[in-house]
Amino acid sequence: MVAQFSFFYILSKIDFAINLFSHLFEWKKNFHILLFSKFAFSAGDVIYTFVLLYLVYITINLIRKKKSISLKRLLIFINLSYFVYQCLWGMLYFQTPIIEKLAKKDITEENLKKLTIKYLKLCKETREKVSEDHKGIFVVKDLQKVEKEILAQQKNLSTQITSKRPIEILSVKPSLYNHLMNYTGILGYYNPFTAESQYNPNLPSTQLPFTLAHEMSHQLGFAREQEASFIAYLCSKNSNDQDLKYSYQLYVLKSLLRNLSVKNKSFAKGILSQYSEKMKRDRINEIEFFKKNEGLVSDVFGFTNDLFLKSNQQDGSITYSYFIILLVRCEA
């Protein structure tokens, strides 16, 4: 395992190797997605379940019988899984960052304030055009329509940003672990072994469309979390689908407020007080959902996710600075 880790670490420093893995991903992308899209359910989650059961079985065998063969099988399995993961996905974290493809622009607090006011206005306008339930909470009318719209918008991404081929097949599925996801704080995830995008169908509708766009950006080949969010933003920005627009606009607004609140809480609170009544109902609904499901599990998953992001040379989950830089450079 140590030898493999060292091997891939060395490869991550070599541009030729990174490009090779990137081309491998492009070569197999649509076929890989097509292969597992045939399943109506999340094939990746089923595989994960069997893997977990296998690991439990091997571990129990190892503890009870103390057979070296069990340890050998466990190590072979872990090494093989790590090798496949790195080849299919892990090396993509070291691709040329999107930020290097955008013109430089200084970020000031004034810039962020202007953008925040702009997105507050956009959110208010779009909120009037979407559907709501009997409680006056925003609901997505047709989630599959949103998925197809994201797929269509991926074809319009600027060649300045990416030369990646758009996805041709839909493979976005609700996670079989969605009830557990309620307690982890995880909105969705990409399975590199099956190329499926999973999401939590229990999420408030305000977060569902943008979560889909984010996970489908991973399918395109953007491994870094903040870059996947930026690609999701680009795919949503020019869409005429009001549900997708409202979800992305809220995501941007909340990201800006989260960034500004570190140094200027009064401004952030002032913006929150200017939410329309409909937006306030949506915000309360989000807060209630996450409060109801918070606890030790979400803390543990949040901590481990933060470590994972940092180990792959990304900002941790508690910072949105990279996304904000990309946003400002694009909005300029």
Q: Along the 332 residues of the chain, how does pLDDT read in single tens digits?
A: 778 889 899 999 999 999 999 999 999 999 999 999 999 999 999 999 999 999 888 888 877 776 667 778 888 889 999 999 999 999 999 999 999 999 888 888 999 999 999 999 999 999 999 999 999 999 999 999 999 999 999 999 998 899 899 999 999 999 999 988 888 778 899 999 999 999 999 999 999 999 999 999 999 999 999 999 999 999 999 899 999 999 999 999 999 998 998 888 899 999 999 999 999 999 999 989 888 876 533 443 343 344 434 444 445 443 337 999 999 998 86
- Residue 132, strand partner residues: 138
Do 322 and 188 share a domain, yes or no? yes
Do 135 and 280 share a domain, yes or no? yes
**Residues 6+ away with beta carbon under 8 Å from 175:** 42, 45, 181, 188, 189, 198, 199, 200, 201
**Unique residue bearing structure tokens 């930026």:** 230
Domain boundary, last residue among 94, 128, 143 = 94
**Residues 6+ away with beta carbon under 8 Å from 49:** 176
Task: Write down the pLDDT at residue 164.
Answer: 93
Do 105 and 86 share a domain, yes or no? no
Task: Write down the pLDDT at residue 19.
Answer: 95
**Residues 6+ away with beta carbon under 8 Å from 207:** 187, 247, 251, 286
Domain count, the chain: 2
Do 286 and 306 share a domain, yes or no? yes
The end-to-end CA distance of the chain, in Å, is: 46
Do 306 and 197 share a domain, yes or no? yes
Task: Write down the pLDDT at residue 67.
Answer: 67
Burial class (CB in 10 A: 0-12, 13-18, 19+), 261: middle
Domain boundary, last residue among 94, 121, 142 = 94
- The first and second tokens of residue 323, run together, are 């996304």
Do 164 and 244 share a domain, yes or no? yes
Do 175 and 266 share a domain, yes or no? yes
pTM for this structure? Answer: 0.90
Do 140 and 232 share a domain, yes or no? yes
Task: Write down the pLDDT at residue 292.
Answer: 83
Task: Write down the pLDDT at residue 70.
Answer: 72
Rounded-to-integer distance, Cα 310 and Cα 252, Å: 22
Determine how many CB atoms are found less than 10 A away from the CB of residue 111: 16
Query: How, if at all, do strands 196-199 and 188-191 pair?
Result: antiparallel
Do 83 and 128 share a domain, yes or no? no
Question: Domain containing 220: what range?
Answer: 98-331
Do 256 and 137 share a domain, yes or no? yes
**Residues 6+ away with beta carbon under 8 Å from 10:** none
Contact by Cβ (8 Å): 286, 242: no
Do 44 and 131 share a domain, yes or no? no
Do 313 and 293 share a domain, yes or no? yes
Rounded-to-integer distance, Cα 162 and Cα 157, Å: 7
Domain boundary, last residue among 48, 66, 94 = 94
